[in-house]
Structure 1
Amino acid sequence: MSASTDELAHGFPPLIRVYKDGRVERLKGTEIAPPSTNPKTGVQSKDIVIDPNTALSARIFIPKITKPNQKLPLVIYFHGGGFCIETAFSPQIHNYADSLAAEANAVVLSVNYRRAPEHPLPIAYNDSWAAIQWVASHSTNGGPEVWLKDYVDFNRFFFAGDSAGANIAHNMGIRVGWEVLDRVKVVGIVLIHPYFGGKDPIGGEIDNVNGKARADYLWMFVCPTSSGLDDPLINPVMDPRLSGLGCDKVLVCVAEKDFLRDRGWYYKEELEKSGWGGVVEIMEAEGEGHGFHMFKPTCDNAVAMLKRVVAFINEDMTH
């Protein structure tokens, strides 16, 4: 191999390397878990193609169905990974969605959007919106997916995501607020360790110059056409449409030792001030870092966070 093919165009350790000849090497997040039936909980999962033209796909999970004709909430989940690694089929993403379906007694659809740098933003946003519209098309009994038609209550939609996926979940909520999704009611949005940023440092970012530089570099790497770090896609506080967020409630989960913690708190405070009419709650995990629940799903803080998310999804149910 000639030296030129090994020259780096972009390096973002420990996630990804891009070489000058165009090769992309993902350094993590490449493992795949097959769809399955969980023997402990009875949750079933399968993979579905949403748009063969773009290869947009998803993994859908249904909990054990105990009552015939029961309609369940639907959580559309967007995985993390900096917009450039991980998939809906990564083991920890699969396991989280599986647990969420079991604990919340909800249908979970985990979107496998296309990733940067081969497919730079806004492609992941467009894929995510296409997936939402495809799911919504089942509300009139149209659409090809039987699990959606048979089991979903289309008045109890939720968006959720972690890290970059939380960023997508928020931006999809903005889009719902301004583009109206027919015959579907988005009740709430769950943002776990959301990847937000901004040109001017806030809170702990002021003393963590390297951390801020990394987060900023990643954004311009995955969204090279962005207007910059105050682009509303990465800095929702700068979005004049924030007050029109298209749901009734938001749960923000942050972690004490996460570099992005202060952005989560800032988002909560600014959303409350924006004139938006909903309710925003926040939960902070003490002593934990970014994405801890994916790597330590059985630790006390991860269990507590899952319980809070489940309560958020189910608290308005009328029996």
Structure 2
Amino acid sequence: MSEIAKELLPMLRIYKDGRVERLLGNDVVPPGDPKGIVQSKDVNYSEANLSSRLYLPRHVKRNQKLPLIFYFHGGGFCIETPFSSTYHNYLNNLVAEANVIAVSVDYRRAPEHPLPIAYDDSWTTIKWVASHVSGNGPEGWLNSHADFGKVFFAGDSAGANISHQMGLRHAQEKLAGVNVEGIVLVHPYFWGTQRIGCEAKLKKKKKELVEGLWYLANPTTSGFDDPLFNPVRDPKFASLGCSRVLVLVAEKDPVRDRGYYYCEQLGKSEWKGRQLEIMEAKNELHVFHLLFPDTDNTKFMIRRIAFFLNQELIRAKI
């Protein structure tokens, strides 16, 4: 048996022969919803043989337009997929609560495919979906039900990191007919060289996991102040291409204070958005909503995100 070269527990092992053993997020579940509220299907969109899982409320009316959310899964850029039970169950719950059409984005993972591949694959997905703006793209659900005037980027952990980067890329490349109204960052995987908040007291193993995953995902990085990891160091930070941002943090999360720092710095910047909010879940861990999907805190968090996604629709009805 090959010797272990690196371990980042509980997530993965890398062996000296180059083999990667992922310890979490390997299961694959088919589309479907045991509650019968949401319908879903997998759609191939890339020459790299990548797919996305699309979600649509089952009760949607013919040609009814719904807010469109792109969801980027977490896992340190290294584990999980849109097709694991963890993310499939979460998207079913979110779509049912928020009454949106969702695209759960697949991207190639590190270390076999280091950054910026995950960012590039994610942008490829967005461009493919945007090809349906005129209503004559290859996917009927998007043609009939996606409201491209109400688009959101969302994700947790590394997926929140991707969401921010997609917001910057949209500001630079502007997809015709696509209005990114908001971005939802759940327990965003950001860091930095200078310790802030409780980071100085972080236990060694947690610190090694946070930092080790970054170097594994991006071996050519300039370090922890790389703008991809410490976004407030990015000269383009204030150009974030949306008008509303919601950040969710957890009290016992090692990256909690980075979420607060992101909000503080975005609020002080020249960002032209009009709404910036942060919500903290007390006594909770990183991505608790995935680990414990049936708790009151998880249900409340999903309701809070659903409200954010529909806030403008609610105001229009008042």
C-alpha displacement of 1:9: 2.4
Matched, 1:174 2:162: no
Q: Distance in 1 between matches of 2:94 and 2:149?
A: 19
Matched, 1:50 2:45: yes
Deviation by residue 1:268-312 (Cα, 9 ceiling, x = unmatched): 000101110212100000000001111111211111111110000
2:228 to 218, 225, 233: 233
Matched, 1:295 2:302: no
Matched, 1:154 2:153: no
Alignment of 1:1-319 (within 5 A): 1=1, 6-36=2-32, 38-51=33-46, 53-208=47-202, 210=204, 211-278=206-273, 279-317=275-313, 318-319=316-317
SS in 2 for 1:60: strand
Q: Distance in 1 between matches of 2:135 and 2:227?
A: 35
C-alpha displacement of 1:56: 1.7
Q: Which amino acid aligns with 1:200?
A: Q
Query: Does the 8 A contact of 2:42 with 2:54 survive in 1?
Result: yes
Greater mean alpha carbon deviation, residues 202-211 or residues 255-264: 202-211
C-alpha displacement of 1:57: 1.1
The percentage of aligned residue pairs carrying the same residue is 55
Could you tell me the TM-score, scaled by structure 1's length?
0.95
Deviation by residue 1:210-268 (Cα, 9 ceiling, x = unmatched): 13333112101110111111111110010111110000001000000111100000000
Q: Which amino acid aligns with 1:10?
A: K
C-alpha displacement of 1:13: 1.1
Residues 41 and 103 of structure 1: CA distance in aligned 2, closer, same or farther (over 3 Å): farther
* RMSD (Å) for aligned C-alpha atoms: 1.2
Query: Does the 8 A contact of 1:41 with 1:102 survive in 2?
Result: no
Q: Distance in 1 between matches of 2:71 and 2:226?
A: 23
Q: Distance in 2 between matches of 1:313 and 1:212?
A: 33
Q: Distance in 2 between matches of 1:137 and 1:148?
A: 10
Q: Distance in 1 between matches of 2:3 and 2:28?
A: 29
Q: Distance in 1 between matches of 2:51 and 2:127?
A: 13
SS in 1 for 2:54: strand
SS in 1 for 2:133: helix
Q: Which amino acid aligns with 1:193?
A: H
Q: Distance in 2 between matches of 1:191 and 1:235?
A: 14
C-alpha displacement of 1:40: 2.6
Query: Does the 8 A contact of 2:52 with 2:103 survive in 1?
Result: yes
Count of equivalent residues:
313
C-alpha displacement of 1:31: 1.1
Could you tell me the TM-score, scaled by structure 2's length?
0.96
Give 4+ residue runs of structure 1 displaced > 3 Å after superposition: none
